[in-house]
Amino acid sequence: MIVGNWKMHKTIAEALEFLKKLPSGLCAEDIYLAVPFTALSSVADAAGTKLKVGAQNVSEHKEGAYTGEISIRMLKEAGATFSLVGHSERRTYYHETNQSIAHKLKACLQQGFKPILCIGETASERKAGHTQAVLEKQLSEGIQGLTSEEVLCLAVAYEPVWAIGTGHTATAEMAQETHKLCRELLKKRYTADIAAKIPILYGGSVNPNSIEQIIQQPDIDGALVGGASLEVDSFVKIVTIAREYKS
Ligand code: PGA
């Protein structure tokens, strides 16, 4: 599962240009693009069933007086099938909490909309030896109250904050260790079978050079790609390399 996160990049015209350049053989069910709200409907129309198109954020509310927010129903109507939830940029700049993230996850899953829960420690948390505690808190509070059936539709993305947009990918060993920790936690909460079925993606400066080591780790089921998903060339390379190891 490879998810491109375009963040606040690409107008509708630029997004359609990207799609036009994607080789048709590449497209498949396991490729996801999280695009800006404004481009959702055009990209979903152009992509058809070739890839999954989704949002980068979603409201936990069904509808109402929430200026500037977008509901799951609106996203679905625009052609989205999934959304990132709790990306570290949303936690940092827009003060999203584990509690609001839990509400978003519940709302998505109750409405048949796939959430990708993003978690990750900051550089200072890692330096202080708090990585495990931070991740356990983000993950367990995020999935709080989800039934076994609901959690099976979830994907988790581990993105160390210090690796996002910095060019410093976590080492494959470091990422594997953390992914294993997340898998264990899911196992404790649910069952080994359920934990094995939930995709855990790595994110943070993934590029065509780093994907090969990362994707070979047993508990890494895919990648969440920011910067390198903006150019067709690098995105295609990442998908192609990931496929070699995981298909
Ligand atoms: P990056 O972003 O690949 O540019 O580091 C990843 C993300 O924030 O999802």
Pocket test of ligand 1: the residue of 2, 5, 8 to mutate, having most ligand atoms within 8 Å of its CB, is: 5
Over range 63-80, report the average pLDDT.
98
- Ligand 1 pocket list (CB less than 6 A): 5, 159, 164-165, 203-206, 224-228
Q: Is 244 a catalytic residue?
A: no
Task: Tell me, rounded to whole angstroms, the distance of Cα 180 from its chain centroid.
Answer: 17
DSSP-assigned letter for residue 161:
G
Tell me if 238 sits within 8 A of 208, measured CB to CB. yes
137: number of Cβ within 10 Å: 13
The residues, ordered by sequence, that sit 6+ positions from 65 with a Cβ below 8 Å of its Cβ are none
Whether the model pTM is above 0.75: yes
Over range 135-163, report the average pLDDT.
97
Atom 2 in ligand 1: which residue has the minimum CA distance?
A: 226
Q: How far is the CA of 42 from the centre of ligand 1 (A)?
A: 23
Name the region of 167 (left: φ>0; alpha: ψ -120 to 50; beta: rest). left
Q: What is the pLDDT of residue 180?
A: 97
Amino acid letter for position 235? F
Higher pLDDT, residue 247 or 221:
221
Tell me if 211 sits within 8 A of 234, measured CB to CB. no
Confidence of residue 43 (pLDDT cuts 50, 70, 90): very high
Cα–Cα distances (Å) from 247 to 50, 180, 234, in that order, read 17, 21, 19
Q: What percent of the chain shows pLDDT beyond 70?
A: 100
Q: Is 87 a catalytic residue?
A: yes
Q: How far is the CA of 33 from the centre of ligand 1 (A)?
A: 13
Q: How far is the CA of 224 from the centre of ligand 1 (A)?
A: 7
Closest ligand 1 atom to 206 CA: 3
The pLDDT of residue 71 is above 80: yes
Higher pLDDT, residue 247 or 164:
164
The pLDDT of residue 102 is above 80: yes
Residue of 96, 121, 125, 159 marked active site: 159
Q: How far is the CA of 132 from the centre of ligand 1 (A)?
A: 21
